[in-house]
Chains A and B, each alone.
Chain A
Amino acid sequence: MSSESLLSVRSLRVDFSTYGRLSHVLSDVSLEVPARRHVALVGESGCGKSVTMKAIMGLLAEPPARIVDGEIRFDGRDLLRLKAREREALRGTAMSMVFQDPMSSLNPVFTIGDQMETILKYADRRLGRARDRKGRRDRVREVLAQVRMPDPDRIAKSYPIMLSGGMRQRVLIAMALLSEPRLLIADEPGTALDVTTQAQILKLLHDLVAERHLALLMITHNLGVVRESADFVYVMYAGAVVERGPAAEIFARARHPYTRALIDCVPKLSGDTTFKGIDGSLPDYAAPPPGCRFAPRCPIAIAVCNRAPGESRVGPDHGAACWRAEETRA
């Protein structure tokens, strides 16, 4: 899986310094996004997935953050060793992001077309590409059509307030596609939308991956969404990846106690109607437990869990960071 990965994050460690305290937010995050694959990074709030995403995009404010260790390779080049200018050249071009909230990510006083043309203009400049106004206008229409907008011309002339939530989300996706990126990072796509609209957006993303040879890294907390659209899943807890594997495999045969507990928490559409939560809460990142960070809440924790578990291979492409991963049967 590793050598053809478009994006490869290895052993990322990030600390945060706030109010005089040092928090070890990311302890060891590794993930791969191969070309033409839809990869999901799943975790609940506070697990560090947003920090990971920002580190990849180069949007982490340092200070208060500090990337202590690790590498982030895009197309073979380590982003952390690049100069700021080179990093910027990649952002919005080869690697772009679809933001979470379409309501607040669009500037209300400019038309969609204006905003998109501006983005394209600056991206072209970063890439050293020349394109005139007409060229930009055409590209904007082209991209709006790619995201299945019914009337690209009309949309380009509209203001954000005239569009519905679903359309605005498509606009955000279109903006990310303007410079023909190779990697798309989608932050909680469709969370702010209705279930029926969300289903459309997810289908669109999945189709785009196939049609446009994109790699997609989706950050989300919604397990159902992940199962239905992702190829490969990374589950994060308290700053580390605790389990990774093909989506179908993870949902059918999760091996890490956190993943299993999380799946159990989701209310079911059939069968069992009882509610099960997870006791306890996230550790204090300034004084995390030694070893496995889930141990204090884990129903099957044992003495050795106070030493950091490495990854146990439980399947050809399936790994879980748990001392007891092999014992846990589905």
Chain B
Amino acid sequence: MSELTAEAPAPVSTAYQNWYRFSRNPTAVIGAAIVVLVVLAAIFAPWITPHPDHVGAIVNFRARHLPPSAQYWFGTDNVGRDIFTRVIFGYRVSLLLAAVVLAIAVPLGVSLGLVAGYFGGWAEIVIMRLTDMALAIPPLVMALAVTAVLTPNLIHAMFAIAALWWTWHTRLIFSITRTLRGQEFIEAAQILGASRFHILFRELLPNCASAILVKTSLDFGFVILIGAALSFLGLGVQPPTPDLGTMVATGADFLPDRWWESLLPGAAILFVALGFNLLGDGLRDLYDVESVR
């Protein structure tokens, strides 16, 4: 009989442990709640908003500049559209754009970081110096410069952001990989004849997963903010599609009397960014503790 057959019951699974710790962390739970709320609201926007038709090209001059009320929860804007509805639809734009930027930046950044960290030598020199150069350029300025050359629209601007955003992930993954490279399980994989692709993406990458998750959550908040800043500066999507940054900009003309037109969309941006930040922090607490184990 092996030391195993009379086995103790299956231990508490990792998933359960993580859930347990996560659910007892107020920051994490609040952050997760906000994010889930916003994402669901964005997905089900047409069904949950009171005036979904206000998203289109519609004017309602009799209802212009109305303060928040039971009928128009966030009030109405300068052409009489319900701000609340437009905020919820505006979330769609913000989330979608952030998702696209990160969907480009994260895989690219992570792959470069893995290669630079594992192989070292020339790969490291080339990639990391490129990263250094890219990091020296402020994303916002880059976006403006790019749009000055190409058509000024939000898509181009966000591609410009993506073109610089990968650098943070490369740095992070590079330093993690460099440490992991000397670990015994990597040496074991080498001795066992694993291909380099396998070592990079099947051995090293899973160990970076928690760091990537934390960083990406935090990034969502930042990218949404940058997107809002760009649209505030005039690079928003084409009207009449609602866009949070644009709403803040147009509403700013009517401050301070009609504060709801600018401040409430602004608060909505704050709300979603806060949610992602708290979630990211909560995840970081969760995984940091785990790595101490």
Q: For chain A residues 289-325, which have a beta carbon within 8 Å of chain B?
A: 296-297
Decide: B3 and A280 in contact? CB cutoff 8 A.
Answer: yes
Between A277, A278, A280, A296, the greatest number of chain B beta carbons within 10 A of the residue's beta carbon is seen for A280
Stretch of B6-14, B78-86, B206-214 that contacts chain A: B6-14
> A244-287 toward B: CB 8 Å interface, digit per residue (1/0)?
00000000000000000000000000000000011111111001
Decide: A281 and B20 in contact? CB cutoff 8 A.
Answer: no
**Chain A, residue nearest B12 (CB):** A19
Known: A19-B16, A19-B20, A20-B20. A296 touches B9 (CB 8 A): no
Number of interface residues of A (CB under 8 A): 14
CB distance from A293 to the nearest CB of B (A): 12
Complex CA gap A297/B12 in Å reads 23
Judge if A21 is at the interface, Cβ distance under 8 Å: yes
> B1-30 toward A: CB 8 Å interface, digit per residue (1/0)?
111111111001000110010000000000
Decide: B6 and A284 in contact? CB cutoff 8 A.
Answer: no
**Chain B, residue nearest A277 (CB):** B3
Known: A19-B20, A20-B20. A281 touches B8 (CB 8 A): yes
**Cβ–Cβ < 8 Å partners of B7 in chain A:** 281
**Cβ–Cβ < 8 Å partners of A280 in chain B:** 1, 3, 6
CB distance from A59 to the nearest CB of B (A): 17
CB distance from B11 to the nearest CB of A (A): 9
Complex CA gap A282/B3 in Å reads 10
Complex CA gap A278/B2 in Å reads 9
Decide: B8 and A283 in contact? CB cutoff 8 A.
Answer: yes
CB distance from A45 to the nearest CB of B (A): 13
The B contact surface, by secondary structure, is loop
CB distance from A261 to the nearest CB of B (A): 13
Complex CA gap A21/B12 in Å reads 10
> B59-87 toward A: CB 8 Å interface, digit per residue (1/0)?
00000000000000000000000000000
Partner of B4, one of A281, A283, A296: A281
**Cβ–Cβ < 8 Å partners of A281 in chain B:** 3-4, 6-8
Between B7, B8, B17, the greatest number of chain A beta carbons within 10 A of the residue's beta carbon is seen for B8
Complex CA gap A281/B5 in Å reads 9
Complex CA gap A279/B4 in Å reads 8
Complex CA gap A279/B17 in Å reads 29
The A contact surface, by secondary structure, is loop
**Chain B, residue nearest A286 (CB):** B9
**Cβ–Cβ < 8 Å partners of B2 in chain A:** 279
**Chain B, residue nearest A283 (CB):** B8
CB distance from A32 to the nearest CB of B (A): 32
Complex CA gap A21/B9 in Å reads 13
**Cβ–Cβ < 8 Å partners of A297 in chain B:** 6
**Cβ–Cβ < 8 Å partners of A287 in chain B:** 9
Complex CA gap A200/B7 in Å reads 40
**Cβ–Cβ < 8 Å partners of B5 in chain A:** 279
Partner of A296, one of B6, B17, B20: B6
Decide: B17 and A19 in contact? CB cutoff 8 A.
Answer: yes
Decide: B3 and A279 in contact? CB cutoff 8 A.
Answer: yes
**Cβ–Cβ < 8 Å partners of B6 in chain A:** 279-281, 296-297
Q: For chain B residues 256-285, which have a beta carbon within 8 Å of chain A?
A: none
Complex CA gap A19/B4 in Å reads 24
Complex CA gap A27/B80 in Å reads 73
Complex CA gap A168/B110 in Å reads 41
Decide: A284 and B9 in contact? CB cutoff 8 A.
Answer: yes
Complex CA gap A19/B17 in Å reads 7
Between B3, B4, B9, B17, the greatest number of chain A beta carbons within 10 A of the residue's beta carbon is seen for B3
Complex CA gap A20/B20 in Å reads 9
Decide: B8 and A282 in contact? CB cutoff 8 A.
Answer: yes
Complex CA gap A283/B8 in Å reads 6
**Cβ–Cβ < 8 Å partners of A278 in chain B:** 3
**Cβ–Cβ < 8 Å partners of A279 in chain B:** 1-3, 5-6
Complex CA gap A20/B12 in Å reads 10
**Chain B, residue nearest A285 (CB):** B8
Complex CA gap A277/B17 in Å reads 32
Complex CA gap A147/B124 in Å reads 49
Complex CA gap A87/B6 in Å reads 42
**Chain A, residue nearest B7 (CB):** A281
Complex CA gap A297/B8 in Å reads 12
Complex CA gap A123/B19 in Å reads 42
> B147-190 toward A: CB 8 Å interface, digit per residue (1/0)?
00000000000000000000000000000000000000000000
**Cβ–Cβ < 8 Å partners of B8 in chain A:** 281-284
Complex CA gap A251/B18 in Å reads 45
Closest 6 CB pairs of A and B: A280-B6, A279-B1, A284-B8, A19-B12, A19-B20, A281-B3
Interface, chain B (partner A; CB < 8 A): 1-9, 12, 16-17, 20
Q: Kindly list 16 other residue pairs between chains A and B, CB separation below 8 angstroms, not including A279-B6, A283-B8.
A: A19-B12, A19-B20, A21-B12, A277-B3, A278-B3, A279-B3, A279-B5, A280-B1, A280-B6, A281-B3, A281-B7, A281-B8, A282-B8, A284-B9, A287-B9, A296-B6
8 contacts across the A-B interface (CB closer than 8 A): A19-B20, A279-B1, A279-B5, A280-B1, A280-B3, A281-B7, A284-B9, A287-B9
